Amino acid sequence: MPKEEAAVRQVVKEFLSGYEQRQVESCMSVMTHSRPLLFLGTNADEVCKTPEDLRAAFDRDFRAMTNIRWGDYRHFAIEAASTLASVLIEIPVSFQVGEKKEQTLFRFALTLHKELEQWKISLAMGCVPHKPGTITFS
């Protein structure tokens, strides 16, 4: 794996690890500081355009969910140039909300930019795909 792709992969893994550990500041440490931020979550109201928005969204997630565990990557694709990278990842996730245990598949699309020789996430979208044949738009 080329050097830039390996560095991008490490940043994405750091983000996922911080999320799994429910550490807001760990997640925020890999976010952009110099570019506009846009993070689209799985809920229609999860549109984060500022670090404060994103911090609040992570905080809401971590208050609601416990025992977050990512499974093995199913797909992990990276395209990286000298200062811009695009990532698509598909990964199973399990977590607990109250007493209820949940398991689902999660997909991320991420854009990273290099800031002071460090890769940082500036754009992201997460989705939970429907099971085949179950999608409706009502």
Convert the pLDDT of each residue in 89-107 to its tens digit.
999 999 999 999 999 999 9
How far is C-alpha 55 from the geometric centre of its chain's CA atoms? 13
Interval 114-137 mean pLDDT: 87
Output the pLDDT for position 130: 78
| Whole-number CA gyration radius for the chain | 15
pTM across the whole model: 0.91
| Domains present along the chain, CATH in parentheses | 3-127 (3.10.450.50)
Q: What is the pLDDT of residues 41-72, one digit of tens each?
A: 988 889 999 999 999 999 999 999 999 999 99
Between the alpha carbon of residue 103 and those of residues 20, 68, 71, 106, 128, the distances in Å are: 14, 10, 10, 10, 11
Q: Which amino acid is at 119?
A: W
Distance CA 83, CA 119 (A): 8
